[in-house]
Amino acid sequence: MLLTCPKCETIFRVDSQNLNVNGQTVRCSICSHVWFALPPKSDARPTKPYLAKKVIGWNRMGAILFILLLVGAFAGGFVHQRVIVTAYFPGLIPGYNSLGMNIFSKTDELAVIDLRAAYTGDILRLGGRLQNNSAFDAHAADLLVTVTSNDGTVINEQTISPDDQIIAAGVSTPFFVQLSVEKSDEAAVTVLPIAKRITR
């Protein structure tokens, strides 16, 4: 085996048989430095420096795992929150689509407000606003407009889109539609946000 003096770095060839199995004190013949030398690892019991090295290895492994978890959580967020992410970065939509991940507008936090209906003969002019009640920007949903007579018959049904494709948090966007209806005096109008697939 080879022993290196830790002080003058002179290398000595030593017969490992002559060295105590648990290590022993040796003296450098060049610089007289005295240190505790250990036989080759295969002969020695686990020693403190060896254990310390293992601990560092585990710490590093833990750090790598932690970073992988962070990256995974980040990527997971990009998958699970893709509806919100693409409301802020619409340019990412084709990328998601190419990965087979569809983007659908969410309707649970969108509300139709300021609904106004005005009849002129058989023409119903319907306007209002679609409000985004969430804390994040959102894709606008389509609006299912249904005109129903008193006896429950659907007179007219139409899907329309509001003016803006993306509605900022807490903001509303207007919509307007003109429908041809009969017996307009007796008709009831409902406007319901419906999820649509966003492909832009």
How many whole angstroms separate alpha carbon 200 and alpha carbon 182? 36
- Supply angle C-alpha 142, 112, 199, rounded to 5: 20
CB of 18 to Zn ion, least distance (A): 18
Closer to Zn ion at the Cβ: 27 or 200? 27
- Rounded least distance, CB 23 to Zn ion, Å: 18
For 150, other C-beta atoms within 10 Å of its C-beta total 10
33 sits near Zn ion (criterion: CB under 5 A): yes
Task: By CB under 5 A, tell whether 28 contacts Zn ion.
Answer: yes
Q: Is 5 helix (H, G, I), strand (E, B) or coil?
A: coil
Q: Which is nearer to Zn ion, 24 or 153 (CB)?
A: 24
Indicate the residue among 7 and 116 with the shorter CB distance to Zn ion. Answer: 7
Contact 19, 37 (CB under 8 A): yes
Least distance between Zn ion and beta carbon 31 (Å): 3
- Name the residue nearer to Zn ion (CB basis): 8 or 99: 8
CA nearest neighbour of 172 among 124, 138, 146: 138
Binding site for Zn ion (CB under 5 A): 5, 7-8, 28, 30-31, 33
